[in-house]
């Protein structure tokens, strides 16, 4: 079957190794060579430059690789399309999410989705933001979930929630008895920050600059969980997404204050590969995600009045 041969060729091109392509397809190295030769004979072209120490594709091989990837993508989406014709919500759904979304926003949604659609096999991976973009673009996952989504060629972005940023402090902190604070009042505070390359850190820094706030950087971390733990041991204050500290605030371990002045929120986005057919399961997951968070925001707003 030519589909299998196209996959062998793609694996060979991507690994640059006949032996690795053989392992990926559970065949012998000789079988890989035979299949590549069969393709060359069929289309009367040379796909791979032979007699060189380093693996290389010919110009025809590069064009053939692009076409092979398109053929495989169409073939791999065929199951989704057939399910869609039958209006069946089933099959595999692969999701990559940044850690904060995966740990806080996603679990209740996954639980309700699995209960409603037991025939959908969900696979969830937790990654850093740039890895999520790469996996969606490469087709390794069907859906990516990130904060502060940015436009990328080949990607479609949909915002499904806006998570408000709040100031958190220890219950013994001087600010703990208040419900809100002006951003200028943070001048001189010991601050637990995210690492400089994280989107949330960049937004917070911009607001500090815009309001001429000079904070004392006590510590920097690459994830929300460690930031919260540092605030819990009274190492300083921080600004984090509200949904990520609901449990700590309800239990009294941390206090959360609204920051007056700038609109401080964290948009959460769904990434999908542009021009790629969506399965019924993928469509339903994204639609349910939007519904769930719209209901959560509405209930949160009602609770504040």
Question: What's the pLDDT at 302?
Answer: 44
Look up the CATH number of domain 162-266.
3.40.190.290
Task: Give ranges for CATH 1.10.10.10 in the chain.
Answer: 2-84
* Beta strand segments in 5-154, E: 91-98, 120-127, 143-147
Tell me, what's the pLDDT at 79?
Answer: 67
**Global pTM exceeds 0.85:** no
**What per-residue confidence (pLDDT) applies to 183?**
93
pLDDT at 28 > cutoff 50: yes
At 188 the pLDDT is 93
Give the pLDDT score at 303: 42
Give the pLDDT band of residue 77 (cuts 50, 70, 90).
Answer: confident
pLDDT at position 82: 65
Question: Which among 65-74, 177-186, 255-264 has the top mean pLDDT?
Answer: 177-186
DSSP labels, 183-251: GGGGTT-EEEEE-TTSHHHHHHHHHHHHTT---EEEEEESSHHHHHHHHHTTS-BEEEEGGGGHHHHHH
Output the CA torsion sign for 140, 142, 148, 152.
positive
* Residue entry with tokens 């609901």: 246
Across 51-55, 91-95, 114-118, least confident range = 51-55
Please state, for a pLDDT cut of 90, what percent of the chain lies above it.
46
Q: What is the per-residue pLDDT across 141-155, written as a single tens digit (0 to 9) for each?
A: 999 999 999 998 889
CATH 3.40.190.10 domain position(s) in the chain: 87-160+267-304
Judged against a pLDDT cut of 70, whether residue 80 lies above it is answered with no
State in words which class domain 2-84 has: mainly alpha
The whole-number average pLDDT for the span 72-86 is 69
Q: What is the pLDDT of residue 125?
A: 92
Report CA dihedral (176, 164, 127, 289) to the nearest 10 degrees: 130
* CATH architecture observed for domain 87-160+267-304: 3-Layer(aba) Sandwich (3.40)
């Amino acid at each position: 079957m030519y589909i299998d041969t196209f996959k062998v060729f793609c694996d060979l091109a991507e690994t640059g190794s006949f032996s690795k392509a053989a392992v990926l397809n559970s065949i012998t190295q000789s079988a890989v060579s035979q299949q590549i030769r069969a393709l060359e004979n069929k289309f009367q072209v040379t796909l791979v430059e032979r007699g060189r120490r380093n693996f290389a594709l010919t110009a025809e091989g590069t064009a053939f690789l692009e076409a092979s990837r398109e053929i495989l993508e169409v073939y791999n989406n065929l199951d989704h399309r057939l399910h869609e014709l039958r209006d069946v919500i089933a099959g595999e759904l692969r999701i990559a999410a940044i850690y904060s979304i995966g740990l806080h926003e996603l679990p209740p949604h996954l639980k309700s989705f699995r209960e409603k659609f037991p025939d959908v096999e969900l696979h969830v991976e937790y990654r850093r933001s740039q890895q999520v973009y790469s996996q969606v673009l490469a087709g390794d996952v069907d859906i990516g979930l990130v904060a502060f989504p940015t436009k990328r060629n080949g990607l479609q972005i949909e915002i499904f929630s806006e998570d408000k940023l709040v100031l958190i402090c220890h219950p013994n902190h001087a600010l703990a008895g208040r419900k809100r604070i002006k951003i200028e009042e943070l001048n001189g505070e010991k601050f637990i920050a995210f690492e400089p390359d994280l989107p949330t850190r960049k937004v917070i820094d911009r607001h500090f600059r815009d309001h001429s706030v000079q904070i004392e950087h006590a510590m920097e971390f690459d994830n929300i969980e460690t930031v919260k733990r540092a605030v819990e041991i009274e190492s300083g204050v921080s600004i984090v997404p509200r949904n990520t500290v609901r449990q700590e605030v309800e239990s009294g371990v941390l206090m959360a204050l609204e920051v007056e002045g700038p609109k401080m929120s964290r948009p959460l986005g769904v990434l999908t590969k542009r021009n790629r057919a969506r399965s019924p399961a993928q469509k339903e997951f994204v639609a349910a995600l939007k519904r769930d968070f719209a209901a959560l925001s509405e209930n949160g707003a009602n609770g504040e009045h």
